[in-house]
Amino acid sequence: MARALVFDPFAGISGDMILGALVDLGLPAAWLGDYVASLGFPGVGVVVERVSRRGIACGGVRFELPHEHVHRHLKDVLEITEGSSAPARVKAQAAAVFRRLAEAEAQVHGVGVEKVHFHEVGALDAILDVLCTVAAIQELGFEHCFTRGVALGTGWIEMEHGRYPVPAPAALKLLEGLAVLETNLPGECTTPTGAALLATLTGGQAPPAEFVMLKSGFGAGTRDTEDRPNCLRLIACEIPDKPADQIFLLQADVDDLPPEYVPAAQEALLDAGALDTVSTTLAMKKGRPGLRLEALVQESRLEAVIAALFAATSTIGARYWPVKRSVLAREEEVVTWRGQRVRRKRVRLPGGGQRAKPEYEDILRAAEALGMAPYEARLAFDADAQVNTAPAGLPESSQSLNEEVHG
């Protein structure tokens, strides 16, 4: 079974509504505060509270921000995102959200993406909404996201360019391909930031016909309207694992891609859906040094990964063929080690044993917090895990490190 998140935007969606619902689902307020602090934005604070929207208890999240007079372009927002301390995969997904926003604005105004002023979307609170949402969903371990119909709202809204019908033109553009609800709800229900996050995270996929309900959470919108509970509902659930797609090995050789751009190309392949990617050096024709990029790709993502390969590298061709592979059963858990939350991947061996490995980025973060060298922290983590491993036969949930409880 895989953990999934179902968005139910019956009253619309915005960045703060998503974060409030994630807190209501169980995202620790302390984690959110620490994460915001780790991003390195001066003068920023976060307030997490419980609020009511027409009788429904909701999570509420708002940011305390320094006053700004800034109109940012896409490149400015991407530089802020890349310069943050967020993990690479969070940065990549957040960047995808902002590119989607820029493309929508560019289409609405009939200008190039590089000329788009982000206005409210480029404000620091929107940047925080996007980075925190993507990171929080990863922190809670959700592997898939789905959405039900999105409420649009009615009426007019005042924007920098004048008075516009609801939903805002950019929000409407961002919702193309997603199911929407024609409602008589007055006011702006769905913001551009909320629409961009929803489109990027879910791809407009509807939830499966059957799933195992785990928990629901509600996130409060800014207004407490009289005509409906102004909140977003999120449903945490488990869905059956899909039958495995045919796996393909995708391969391309290049001799004109600067080495410093190889990691970015690999991230682009992973973001497009590649299961794994590696690069190796080659001696190409005429003695030119080059490199080979390879990716393992499920058949359902092959077209998208090939497109990412052509977009992110200088290659003019690629080859691929079906392959077989064997994988161990695995699961991810979160442990608290010396006061630090560390994700650990556990696999089951054919003979019945187990092997576990902590996530590299979490060890780096824990090492910095504890004043240790990363490799020293990894050795200490493994040593503590060995000492505190539960006797054979006990449920894994009973195991702990330093007598602290698994997350």
Tokens, residue 321: 């063929």
Q: Report yes or no on whether pTM surpasses 0.85.
A: no
What's the confidence (pLDDT) of residue 77? 86
Q: 394 pLDDT exceeds 60?
A: no
Confidence band of 399 (pLDDT split at 50, 70, 90): very low
What's the confidence (pLDDT) of residue 244? 63
What's the Rg (C-alpha) of the chain?
23
pLDDT tens by residue, 147-169:
999 998 888 877 666 677 888 88
How many residues would you count in the chain? 407
In the chain, % of residues over pLDDT 90? 55
Residue 326 neighbours by CB under 8 Å, 6+ apart: none
- CA distances to 23, 83, 190, 266 from 41, in Å: 22, 10, 27, 28
What's the confidence (pLDDT) of residue 403? 38
Q: 345 pLDDT exceeds 70?
A: yes
Least confident interval from 78-82, 116-120, 320-324, 358-362: 116-120
Confidence band of 117 (pLDDT split at 50, 70, 90): low
What's the confidence (pLDDT) of residue 391? 35
In the chain, % of residues over pLDDT 70? 91
What's the confidence (pLDDT) of residue 70? 67
Contact 56, 234 (CB under 8 A): no
Cα(378)–Cα(400) distance, integer angstroms: 16
Q: How many CA atoms lie within 13 A of 222 on its CB side?
A: 10
Q: Please list the helix, strand and coil fractions of the chain in percent, rounded to the nearest 5, in that order.
A: 35, 30, 35
Confidence band of 390 (pLDDT split at 50, 70, 90): very low
Cα(77)–Cα(405) distance, integer angstroms: 38
Residue 246 three-state SS = coil
Confidence band of 379 (pLDDT split at 50, 70, 90): very high
Among 11-20, 154-163, 325-334, top mean pLDDT goes to: 11-20
> Which has the closest alpha carbon to 18: 322, 221, 163, 182?
221
Confidence band of 395 (pLDDT split at 50, 70, 90): very low
Q: 47 pLDDT exceeds 70?
A: yes
> Which has the closest alpha carbon to 201: 2, 7, 1?
7
Residue 405 neighbours by CB under 8 Å, 6+ apart: 336
Least confident interval from 38-52, 222-236, 321-335: 321-335
Cα(109)–Cα(129) distance, integer angstroms: 24
What's the confidence (pLDDT) of residue 291? 94
Contact 265, 211 (CB under 8 A): no
Peptide bond before 207: cis, by omega within 30 degrees of 0?
Answer: no
Q: 404 pLDDT exceeds 50?
A: no
Confidence band of 328 (pLDDT split at 50, 70, 90): confident
DSSP state of 351: T
What's the confidence (pLDDT) of residue 139? 92
Tokens, residue 153: 């709202």
What's the confidence (pLDDT) of residue 236? 97
What's the confidence (pLDDT) of residue 167? 82
Cα(122)–Cα(77) distance, integer angstroms: 7
Contact 223, 53 (CB under 8 A): no
pLDDT tens by residue, 353-367:
788 899 999 999 999
Confidence band of 194 (pLDDT split at 50, 70, 90): very high
Residue 405, judged by CB atoms within 10 A of its CB (0-12, 13-18, 19+), counts as: exposed
What's the confidence (pLDDT) of residue 274? 94
Cα(134)–Cα(150) distance, integer angstroms: 19
- CA distances to 65, 129, 182, 197, 217 from 95, in Å: 21, 13, 30, 11, 26
Which residue type, as a one-letter code, is found at position 379? Answer: L
Which residue type, as a one-letter code, is found at position 283? Answer: A
What's the confidence (pLDDT) of residue 207? 93
Tokens, residue 33: 């505060």
Mean local confidence (pLDDT), 119-135:
81
